[in-house]
Structure 1
Amino acid sequence: MSLLNATQVEGGYGGMNILKGVDMAIDKEDIGVIVGPNGAGKSTMLKAIFGLVEVNGGDILLRDKSIKNSAPNKLVELGMGFIPQEKNIFPSMTVEENLEMGAYIKPHTTKTMLERIYSFFPPLLEKRKQPAGELSGGQRQMVAMGRALMTEPTLLLLDEPTAGLSPLYMQEIFDRIVEINKAGVGILMVEQNAKQALEIATKGFVLASGQNLYTDTGQNLLNDPEVAKSFLGG
């Protein structure tokens, strides 16, 4: 039984299909990475899974049960977390207040989960009383990821988690994603830094024009000369 199994997904905005039959499946042990050119439907696919884009074809299963067009709050209750690329923190609230906001469906676990989040992201512990908006881009991304993890998800969706970050913070975020995955959370993310992301991916999906062009392990995609030439810059 796959953790997530999306088959022939079609959907988009205003009746226009951006996704034109996308297939994607990952297990809880997987780090799945979606790459491809701008306009390929990468972020749209994540939003379709999380109920933010209308799906009008195909199906999306979470642990073998259809979640197609389910409300995002229902999906959070079912064990899914989603971190958008932008506006993913409350800048005027402290780091700890941001994290506590993530525990709204499981308030009794707040203390335990805070300790766990600080173990994943040690820089946040010393800055826990600081307004999140004052942090560096990389640390703000840690806050966003930490808040999503407060609900104890089994599947975490990440939209461009390293966008705009320095190479140092980019590697830090990728390292934390690997650590979170090893702790039992399946990962599916969209990433522009394709080479670096595919290096940690167990599964990779190359999309173009709303369709799967290639689906393979991250390493096989890195080693594929056609993929490298067309999508990885060499």
Structure 2
Amino acid sequence: MPLLEARDVYGGYGGMNILNGVNMTLEADEIGVIVGPNGAGKSTMLKAIFGQLVVTQGEILLRGEPIHNLPPHRLVQQGMGFVPQEHNVFPSLTVKENLQMGAFLKPGNVKRMLKQIYDFFPPLYDKRHQPAGELSGGQRQMVAMGRALMAEPSVLLLDEPTAGLSPLYMNEIFAQVKQVNAAGVGILMVEQNAKQALAIADKGFVLAAGQNRFTDTGAALLADPEVARSFLGG
């Protein structure tokens, strides 16, 4: 049984569909990457999975159970984490306080999970008493991912985790995504840095106009000349 499955999903805003029949399957040990042009419905699909917009047709399943149109707090209880692209840290709180906020459902696990987050993201340990708003963009992204992981999700949704980051921080975030996945967390992420993201992906989903244009392994998509020509800049 897949960890996460989307079947023929339609949805959007104000009565207008942006998603027009999207299909995705993610196993528990996989990294899935959603790529495509601007306006393709990539971030909209993550929001549909996380209950932030109404799915008007189709279904989304977590471990075989329907979850579409459940509110986000219910999805967190069921083992899903979500890191939005923007406004994803509390800037006036310290790094440690930000992380502690993520454990509100499991307060007894704070000490153990803090240690694990600092193992995943070593720079955060030295910065743990510093306000998150003073950190670099890459370090703020680590805080946002760490806070979502404090609830011990089985699947983590990441919306453009490397947006605006330097190549150095981009590579570091991708390495940390692989590490989190290796620890047993399924990952589904939207990325503009498509080539680099597909290079670490078990599965890739190329969307255009709210539909799957290509679905394959990351390696196969990178090797596909039509995908490269149309979506990866040659």
1:87-98 maps to which residues of 2 (within 5 A)? Answer: 87-98=87-98
1:22 is matched with 22
Shift of the alpha carbon at 1:28? 1.1
1:31-46 maps to which residues of 2 (within 5 A)? Answer: 31-46=31-46
Matched residue type, 2:82: F
State the alpha-carbon separation in 2 of the partners of residues 217 and 53 from structure 1. 28
1:194 is matched with 194
1:111 is matched with 111
Matched residue type, 1:202: D
State the alpha-carbon separation in 2 of the partners of residues 117 and 28 from structure 1. 20
1:23-102 maps to which residues of 2 (within 5 A)? Answer: 23-102=23-102
Matched residue type, 1:197: A
State the alpha-carbon separation in 2 of the partners of residues 158 and 34 from structure 1. 10
Matched residue type, 1:28: A
1:156-167 maps to which residues of 2 (within 5 A)? Answer: 156-167=156-167
1:126 is matched with 126
1:159-178 maps to which residues of 2 (within 5 A)? Answer: 159-178=159-178
State the alpha-carbon separation in 2 of the partners of residues 39 and 211 from structure 1. 11
SS in 2 for 1:24: strand
State the alpha-carbon separation in 2 of the partners of residues 204 and 26 from structure 1. 10
2:203 is matched with 203
Shift of the alpha carbon at 1:231? 0.4
SS in 2 for 1:34: strand
Shift of the alpha carbon at 1:220? 0.1
SS in 2 for 1:52: coil
Matched residue type, 2:118: Y
RMSD of aligned C-alpha atoms? 0.3
SS in 1 for 2:20: strand
SS in 1 for 2:147: helix
State the alpha-carbon separation in 2 of the partners of residues 220 and 29 from structure 1. 19
State the alpha-carbon separation in 1 of the partners of residues 152 and 138 from structure 2. 22
Shift of the alpha carbon at 1:115? 0.3
SS in 1 for 2:177: helix
State the alpha-carbon separation in 2 of the partners of residues 13 and 142 from structure 1. 30
State the alpha-carbon separation in 1 of the partners of residues 39 and 105 from structure 2. 35
Cα distance per residue 1:165-210 (max 9 Å; x no partner): 0000000000000000000000000000000000000000000000
1:208-223 maps to which residues of 2 (within 5 A)? Answer: 208-223=208-223
Structure 2 residue ranges without an equivalent (≥5): none
SS in 1 for 2:230: helix
